């Protein structure tokens, strides 16, 4: 928000925060895992019916008997965590000061079924580039918030929050809580909507925007059937293209109808069963990443279960699913009619494996103040987690010399 706005959000001072789940929560998780009753799974070696039961069974057993959450906590707590309250909402964030002569403030926004931890491989190279073969002039003050209702930005006690409203919260976080007059922003998945809204509504505060794996127009949820638009767009006319497109859509949109139409109903099941929650989140990790059917070529079991444990222990799923419903219910409203729609300088790293077959992205040049586009031939929807070196290099290159 600009200083001329009178509707600034209230905020409390940031306080240090340590991630430390209680023994009671972890004991209850292990007990529930020991009582897992998996559904019968027949003729599903190729995962065509959904998550393969034998893989899920192995993963649940490892979660119960082999996974060391405390070790993952220690890794997360190597970075400084904080919590604040903005507009009555609890907001958790990581804040790492850059090691360089003039670090650029940069907020990184995750999506679903991500957590803030999907950005952890970016923190060191961005904040301390010299230690990772870079130049001190490319250092950043790295800020990674958890979206409201996700992970440690809980408990969420109100409904009706949309992804575009998060941009107002982030401006308050960066300007009023952390004291940055101007800052950069990067986003993936839902984070592209937050980041684009920052560049649309608050361009005077943004040094620049960077997107990966691909941007979306802000109005993409303004439709009666968002599950047919958000990932897919218009169905191609060609018969061959259509078959390829349908296969792509099958991998991408299975969650959307349930999240948009009946999020609370689904949440009762996944809130009660850690195995069920794992199956729902695992399917997206496998289907959306560039793993060629073997999810563990991209994410280790510990990485998967760290994410699943955060969702489970913080009781996040219901809020994260309801966000889809509220986005579709309320839609996006423009703050102005100027062109381009997103005025802040913008760079994009396109991950081709995440794009619909035959997708044309030429709309970006008129929608954004587009400065640079690069492409990554490898990596999928979880861009920063899958190809962190590529994302780091493109962020450094774009923001170099911008203040």
**Residues shown for the chain:** 403
Q: What is the pLDDT of residue 312?
A: 98
Q: What is the pLDDT of residue 3?
A: 40
Q: What is the pLDDT of residue 239?
A: 56
* pLDDT per residue as tens digits for the range 189-247: 999 999 999 999 999 999 999 999 999 999 999 988 887 766 655 555 665 677 888 88
Q: What is the pLDDT of residue 245?
A: 81
Is residue 158 within 8 A of residue 90, CB to CB? The reply is: no
Calculate the alpha carbon distances from 315 to 36, 61, 148, 312 in Å: 19, 21, 12, 5
Q: Where are the domains of the chain?
A: 20-36+48-399
Q: DSSP secondary structure string, 156-187?
A: ---S---TTHHHHHHHIIIIIIT--SSEEEEE
Q: Give per-10-residue mean pLDDT for the chain (403 aa).
A: 57 98 98 98 97 98 98 98 98 98 98 98 98 97 98 97 98 98 98 98 98 96 81 57 82 92 98 98 98 98 98 98 97 98 98 89 96 97 98 98 84
Q: Rounded to two decimals, what is the model's pTM?
A: 0.96
Compute the distance between CA of residue 227 and CA of residue 250 in angstroms, rounded to an integer.
11
Hey, what CATH topology would domain 20-36+48-399 get? Rossmann fold (3.40.50)
């Amino acid at each position: 928000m600009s200083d001329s706005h009178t509707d600034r959000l209230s905020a409390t001072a940031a306080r240090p925060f340590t991630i430390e789940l209680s023994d009671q929560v972890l004991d209850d998780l292990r007990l529930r895992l020991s009582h897992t009753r998996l559904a019968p799974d027949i003729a599903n070696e190729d995962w065509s019916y959904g998550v393969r039961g034998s893989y899920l069974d192995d993963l649940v057993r490892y979660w119960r008997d082999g996974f060391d959450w405390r070790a993952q906590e220690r890794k997360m707590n190597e970075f400084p965590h904080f919590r604040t309250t903005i507009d009555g909402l609890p907001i958790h964030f990581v804040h790492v000061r850059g090691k360089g002569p003039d670090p650029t403030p940069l907020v990184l926004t995750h999506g679903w079924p991500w957590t803030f931890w999907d950005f952890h491989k970016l923190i060191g190279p961005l904040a301390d580039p010299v230690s990772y073969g870079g130049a001190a002039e490319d250092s950043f003050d790295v800020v990674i918030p958890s979206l409201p209702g996700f992970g440690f930005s809980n408990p969420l006690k109100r409904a009706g929050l949309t992804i575009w409203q998060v941009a107002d919260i982030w401006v308050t976080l960066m300007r009023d809580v952390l004291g940055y007059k101007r800052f950069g922003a990067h986003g993936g998945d839902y984070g592209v909507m937050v980041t684009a809204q920052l560049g649309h509504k608050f361009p005077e505060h943004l040094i620049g925007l960077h997107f990966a794996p691909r941007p979306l127009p802000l109005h993409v949820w303004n439709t009666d059937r968002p599950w047919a638009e958000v990932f897919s767009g218009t169905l191609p006319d060609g018969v061959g293209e259509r078959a390829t497109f349908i296969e792509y859509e099958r991998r991408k949109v299975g969650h959307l109808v349930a999240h948009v139409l009946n999020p609370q109903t689904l949440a009762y099941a996944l809130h009660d069963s850690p195995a069920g929650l794992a199956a729902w989140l695992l399917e997206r990790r496998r289907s959306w990443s560039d793993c060629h059917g073997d999810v563990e070529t991209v994410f280790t079991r510990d990485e998967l279960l760290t994410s699943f444990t955060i969702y489970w222990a913080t009781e996040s799923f219901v809020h994260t699913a309801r966000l889809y419903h509220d986005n579709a219910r309320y839609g996006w409203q423009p703050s102005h009619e100027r062109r381009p729609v997103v005025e802040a300088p913008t760079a994009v790293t396109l991950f081709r494996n995440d794009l619909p077959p035959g997708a044309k992205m030429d709309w970006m040049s008129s929608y954004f103040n587009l400065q640079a586009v690069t492409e990554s031939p490898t990596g999928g929807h979880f861009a920063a987690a899958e190809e962190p070196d590529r994302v780091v290099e493109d962020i450094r290159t774009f923001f170099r010399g911008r203040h």
